[in-house]
Amino acid sequence: QLQASGGGLVQAGGSLRLSCVVSGDGFRRSDMAWFRQAPGKEREFVAGIIWSVGYTYISDSVKGRFNISRGSSKNTMYLQMNSLRPEDTAIYYCAARTSTAVILTGAHYYAYWGQGTLVTVSS
């Protein structure tokens, strides 16, 4: 199971850090990712990580502003979001799939999803 948290209301230019706690030890064999979905839009890949080696990939839409990381001693994944913009407003989801050591950006590749956490950026 995945449990996402950390969303909230923030002004443009501000920062938030999202967390995703993974139950069990399956995360060690997983590729994990953050997606987001804005109202009326499709779910969009934001960032991904191959847990076993820590390799990350950030989408161009947030590159330079967002960073994905894993907790050093806990089964927790983070999304650090800086310089937030109103267009970043969305429900953010964490997701996991059995690792193939390739970060895939399509939502349909991920079998496990957290419940989502809402991020609202005001202008």
Angle at 123 between CA 42 and CA 33, to 5 degrees: 35
pLDDT at 73 over 90: no
Look at residues 113, 15, 27, 118 and name the one whose alpha carbon lies nearest to residue 70.
27
With cut-offs at 50, 70 and 90, classify the pLDDT of residue 120: very high
Task: Please tell me the chain's helix, strand, coil percentages from 3-state DSSP, rounded to the nearest 5.
Answer: 10, 50, 40
Q: For residue range 35-58, what is the model confidence (pLDDT) as tens digits?
A: 999 999 999 999 999 988 889 999
pLDDT at 109 over 70: yes
pLDDT at 27 over 70: no
